[in-house]
């Protein structure tokens, strides 16, 4: 997927790509009431019908990025810089009322713990029809019929019966399907899934990931899938964004990023990821820990954990630059490193 | 086979008489210095298995034998004495809830020794520092913090320090890494492997997630609705599963090497569910694409090779019936059901 010039941080103020479902430009997010900058200089687009994965360790800022897109930052956190555009409409600076209109209709969301997003005292059918009646103005009978259709579309067996159940009567996988039905009820342009399958059993996780992929294909839905698990992203996404310490460090097509990473951090994530291999072996870890949120560092934020760090890595902030084949990487050494041989590939060849 | 920890015919049921048992005839043997994985989905009885093994839940029938001594029959003073000996220890799931929020790291780790009451304060302090150092935590920096003031990965390691401070011979760890990201997960798994190598400690890792066993487990038992449906060396069980549930589990696990493909779909039920109720017969029958009338009688775990059992009437012939040739052939050397690149 080629990038529009606007996603290049070297060209600030360029017009945003009107064909994108989501366009994020130079996003900065502060926490602790503006005292610390937790996310900086984040620019990316999600094309219509495209599935983009956002991956990073805990504390990488991936949840803040996706909460900014949803207008759901927790108290004390705020978008301090940048523009977020959803299918041509600027979202930054919307009032609460305007957000209520956008959220649920133009952008849907699914989170890790479905039970906590549903009202325990209402049937799940009622919670879906409420959305259909408030957002789409359907009458009761049409909303009821549409709810059953949507429950069937997300693969719930006996949808009319499920609609009459309360959340506590359904399993975690079924609740996540209910939430997906709610999220796509108004045919949004974008679905944001933040660790949506992390708490599910492996078998159910695979089913929900397949469902997301199917919804995307059938409804031309753009998908932003956020996960700490590269393996989950590898299953579903066309393109991968890698976040580290509040910045994007790599962006490229999934098969290229997974097989031939450009950033040493991506390579490290691949080394520790699940490869579906059960031989006894020495497991790899990424040494050290990510910097504290808001830490002021002179150069590359990954330098102190990086096996390839050189003096030039610390001389100044590292820009996210575009490579000849349209990928992006935040590394001064970039192509001079042969990561495919040094790490991921090597490990895999040994593993096979 | 006589292991250090032997569970035989273990059956546990809660609530009214006639309720479906939470564990049904579970057999598991853990030898010295061995790492055994117990894998199963939510509600399969994993945590009950761990709690029964350490004597927190009395079994309805069956035995738990530790180092030749039956502990499932212990009551009162004898049971307390055994638990306090700390030879068989249990690291609870969910460190945030298992750690007392008002106890500092050091006091939480010291607790199993202080309740035993036969060790002096100076030795306790030394053992606590040693345990924290073993799990890679800086006692001077973190020892006086409360659980709320440290990271999730650190809390998980505090829980492990607390479980190993008594120098157990067997450690049962319930979901020790499922809340951690990949790098921290590998760090904790490496620690368990090191404890096994250095102290000959046996470890039972209980998890819903196959990646929690990657690279360290010797053997694995697959639990489904209270029964061990398959058991054996990890490499063989995951490389060429002989129970359809194990195969579905492996095919569903995400992997950065995955090719996508029809793997899991070929193992999901396609036909109508069988005509009998879910209470009867094979526990997996209602989700099994290979179900036949014979499955109305529950299959017993049967030997299917050295140190390996599978509870399936149709093992191994069901493998021939899979439409996807990749699964049917199996790929023992890659350990993958999905097509390797």
| CB of B13 closer than 8 Å to CB of B60 | yes
- Kindly state the tokens that stand for B108: 């939480």
Q: CA of A213: which chain B residue's CA is closest?
A: B260
> Confidence band (pLDDT; 50, 70, 90) for B280?
confident
The whole-number pLDDT of residue B29 equals 95
| CB of A108 closer than 8 Å to CB of A186 | yes
Lowest mean pLDDT among A186-190, B26-30, B269-273, B321-325: B321-325
The whole-number pLDDT of residue A14 equals 40
The whole-number pLDDT of residue A185 equals 93
> Confidence band (pLDDT; 50, 70, 90) for A276?
low
The whole-number pLDDT of residue B273 equals 81
The whole-number pLDDT of residue A278 equals 72
Query: b/e map of A58-74 (b: 16 or more CB within 10 Å)?
Result: bbbbbbbbbbbbbbebe
> Where is pLDDT greater, at A93 or B243?
B243
Q: Which residues of A touch B184 (CB under 8 A)?
A: 285
Q: What does the mean pLDDT of chain A come to?
A: 87
- Kindly state the tokens that stand for B30: 């853990």
What mean pLDDT do residues B137-165 have? 90
The whole-number pLDDT of residue A99 equals 92
CATH architecture for the domain at B5-217: 3-Layer(aba) Sandwich (3.40)
Q: Is the pLDDT of residue B118 over 80?
A: yes
Q: In B67-222, which residue ranges form alpha helices assigned H by DSSP?
A: 76-85, 95-98, 105-116, 121-134, 139-142, 152-164, 182-199
Instruction: Measure A134 CA to nearest chain B CA, in Å.
Output: 36
The whole-number pLDDT of residue A275 equals 67
Q: What does the mean pLDDT of chain B come to?
A: 87
> Confidence band (pLDDT; 50, 70, 90) for A292?
confident
- Contact at CB, A275 and B338, closer than 8 angstroms: no
CA B199 to chain centre: 20
The whole-number pLDDT of residue A15 equals 44
The whole-number pLDDT of residue A29 equals 96
Most A CBs within 10 Å, among B176, B182, B191, to test the A interface: B182
Q: Is the pLDDT of residue B262 over 50?
A: no
Lowest mean pLDDT among A23-27, B85-89, B264-268, B322-326: B322-326
- Contact at CB, A231 and B256, closer than 8 angstroms: yes
What mean pLDDT do residues A28-45 have? 94
- Contact at CB, A280 and B41, closer than 8 angstroms: no
Q: Which residues of B touch A203 (CB under 8 A)?
A: 41, 248-249, 252, 264
| CB of B286 closer than 8 Å to CB of B267 | no
Q: CA of B337: which chain A residue's CA is closest?
A: A276
pLDDT for B181-228, tens place per residue?
888 889 889 999 999 999 999 999 999 888 888 889 999 999 999 999
Global confidence as pTM = 0.86
The whole-number pLDDT of residue B305 equals 87
Q: Is the pLDDT of residue A11 over 70?
A: no
Q: Is the pLDDT of residue B326 over 70?
A: no
Q: Residue A280: which of B215, B255, B334 has the nearest Cβ?
A: B215
Q: Is the pLDDT of residue B339 over 80?
A: no
CATH class of A5-106+188-351: alpha beta
> Confidence band (pLDDT; 50, 70, 90) for A21?
very high
Q: Burial of A116 by CB count in 10 Å (0-12 exposed, 13-18 middle, 19+ buried)?
A: exposed
Q: Residue A201: which of B42, B189, B235 has the nearest Cβ?
A: B42
How far is Cα A288 from Cα B182, in angstroms, rounded to an integer? 14
The whole-number pLDDT of residue B271 equals 67
- Contact at CB, A58 and B181, closer than 8 angstroms: yes
Residues 6+ apart with CB under 8 A from A313: A299, A300, A303, A306, A332, A333
Q: CA of A283: which chain B residue's CA is closest?
A: B186
Indicate the domain borders of chain B: 5-217, 242-329
pLDDT for A53-104, tens place per residue?
999 888 889 999 999 999 999 999 999 999 999 988 999 889 989 998 899 8
The whole-number pLDDT of residue A282 equals 82
Please give the DSSP secondary-structure letter assigned to residue A292: P
A237 touches chain B (CB under 8 A): no
- Among candidate residues A330, A346, A337, the one with its CA nearest the CA of residue A259: A346
The whole-number pLDDT of residue A231 equals 87
Q: CA of A172: which chain B residue's CA is closest?
A: B42
> Where is pLDDT greater, at B307 or A6?
B307
What mean pLDDT do residues B317-332 have? 61
As annotated, the residues of chain A forming the CATH 3.40.50.300 domain(s) are 5-106+188-351
With the C-alpha atoms ordered B289, B293, B298, B300, is the resulting torsion angle positive or negative?
A: negative
> Confidence band (pLDDT; 50, 70, 90) for B324?
low
What mean pLDDT do residues A212-217 have? 90
What mean pLDDT do residues B86-97 have? 88
Out of A278-282, A309-313, A346-350, the most confident range is A309-313
Q: Residue B186: which of A58, A277, A285 has the nearest Cβ?
A: A285
Interface of A with B in 250-279 (CB under 8 A): 258, 268-270, 272-279
Q: What percentage of chain A reaches a pLDDT higher than 70? A: 89
Q: Is the pLDDT of residue B46 over 60?
A: yes
> Where is pLDDT greater, at A222 or A347?
A222
Longest dimension (CA), chain B: 66
What mean pLDDT do residues A204-209 have? 91
Q: Is the pLDDT of residue A9 over 60?
A: no
Q: Is the pLDDT of residue A321 over 70?
A: yes
Q: Residue A234: which of B184, B211, B254 has the nearest Cβ?
A: B254
CB hemisphere CA count around B164 (13 angstroms): 26
The Cα angle at residue A320 between residues A318 and A321, in degrees rounded to 5: 110
- Contact at CB, B216 and A209, closer than 8 angstroms: no
């Amino acid at each position: 997927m080629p990038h529009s010039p606007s996603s290049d941080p070297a060209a600030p103020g360029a017009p945003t790509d009107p064909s994108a479902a989501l366009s994020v430009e130079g996003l900065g997010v502060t926490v602790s009431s503006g005292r610390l900058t937790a996310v900086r200089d984040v620019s990316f687009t999600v094309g219509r019908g495209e599935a983009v994965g956002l991956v990073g360790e805990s504390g990488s800022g991936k949840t803040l990025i996706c909460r900014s897109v949803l207008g759901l930052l927790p108290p004390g956190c705020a978008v301090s810089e940048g523009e977020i555009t959803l299918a041509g409409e600027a979202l930054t600076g919307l009032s609460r009322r305007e957000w209520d209109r956008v959220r649920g209709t133009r952008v849907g969301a699914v989170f890790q713990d479905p039970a906590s997003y549903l009202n325990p005292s209402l049937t799940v059918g009622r919670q879906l029809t409420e959305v259909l009646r408030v957002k789409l103005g359907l009458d009761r009978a049409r909303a009821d019929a549409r709810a059953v259709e949507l429950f069937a579309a997300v693969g719930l067996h006996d949808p009319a019966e499920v609609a009459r159940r309360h959340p506590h009567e359904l399993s975690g996988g079924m609740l996540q399907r209910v939430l997906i039905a709610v999220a796509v009820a108004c045919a949004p342009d974008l679905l944001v899934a933040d660790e949506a399958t992390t708490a599910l059993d492996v078998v159910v996780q695979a089913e929900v990931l397949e469902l997301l992929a199917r919804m995307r294909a059938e409804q031309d839905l753009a998908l932003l899938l956020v996960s700490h698990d590269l393996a989950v992203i590898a299953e579903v996404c066309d393109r991968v964004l890698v976040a580290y310490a509040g910045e994007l460090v790599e962006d490229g097509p999934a098969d290229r990023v997974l097989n031939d990473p450009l950033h040493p951090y991506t390579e490290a994530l691949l080394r520790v990821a699940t490869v579906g291999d059960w031989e006894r072996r020495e497991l790899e870890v990424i040494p050290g820990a990510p910097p504290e949120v808001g830490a002021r560092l002179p150069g590359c934020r990954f330098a102190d954990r990086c096996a390839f760090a050189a003096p030039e890595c610390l001389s100044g902030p590292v820009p996210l630059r575009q490579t000849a084949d349209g990928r992006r990487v935040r590394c001064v050494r970039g192509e001079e490193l042969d990561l495919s041989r040094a790490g991921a590939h090597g490990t895999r060849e040994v593993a096979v | 086979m006589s292991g250090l920890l032997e569970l035989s015919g273990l059956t546990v049921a809660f609530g009214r008489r006639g309720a479906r048992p939470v564990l049904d005839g579970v057999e598991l043997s853990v030898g010295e210095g061995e790492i055994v994985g117990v894998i199963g989905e939510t509600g399969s009885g994993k945590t009950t298995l761990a709690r029964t093994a350490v004597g927190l839940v009395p079994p309805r029938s069956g035995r738990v034998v530790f180092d030749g001594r039956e502990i499932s029959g212990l009551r009162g003073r004898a049971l307390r004495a055994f638990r306090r000996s700390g030879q068989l220890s249990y690291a609870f799931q969910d460190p945030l809830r298992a750690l007392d929020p008002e106890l500092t790291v050091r006091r939480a780790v010291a607790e199993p020794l202080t309740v035993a009451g036969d060790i002096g304060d100076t030795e306790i302090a030394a053992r606590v520092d040693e345990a924290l150092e073993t799990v890679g935590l800086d006692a001077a920096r973190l020892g006086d913090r409360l659980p709320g003031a440290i990271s999730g990965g650190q809390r998980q390691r505090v829980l492990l320090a607390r479980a190993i401070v008594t120098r157990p011979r067997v450690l049962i760890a319930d979901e020790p890494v499922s809340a951690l990201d990949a790098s921290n997960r590998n760090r904790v798994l490496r620690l368990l492997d090191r404890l096994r190598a250095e102290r000959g400690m046996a470890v039972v890792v209980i998890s819903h997630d196959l990646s929690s066993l990657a690279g360290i487990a010797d053997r694995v038992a697959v639990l489904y609705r209270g029964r061990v449906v398959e058991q054996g060396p990890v490499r063989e069980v995951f490389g060429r599963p002989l129970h359809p549930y194990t195969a579905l589990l492996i095919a569903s696990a995400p992997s950065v090497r995955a090719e996508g493909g029809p793997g899991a779909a070929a193992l999901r039920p396609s036909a109508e569910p069988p005509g009998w109720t879910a209470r009867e017969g094979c526990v997996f029958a209602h989700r099994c694409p290979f179900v036949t009338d014979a499955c109305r009688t529950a299959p017993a775990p049967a030997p299917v090779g050295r140190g390996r059992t599978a509870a399936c009437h149709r093992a191994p012939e069901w493998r021939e019936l899979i439409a996807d040739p990749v699964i049917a052939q199996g790929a023992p050397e890659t350990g993958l059901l999905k097509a390797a690149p």
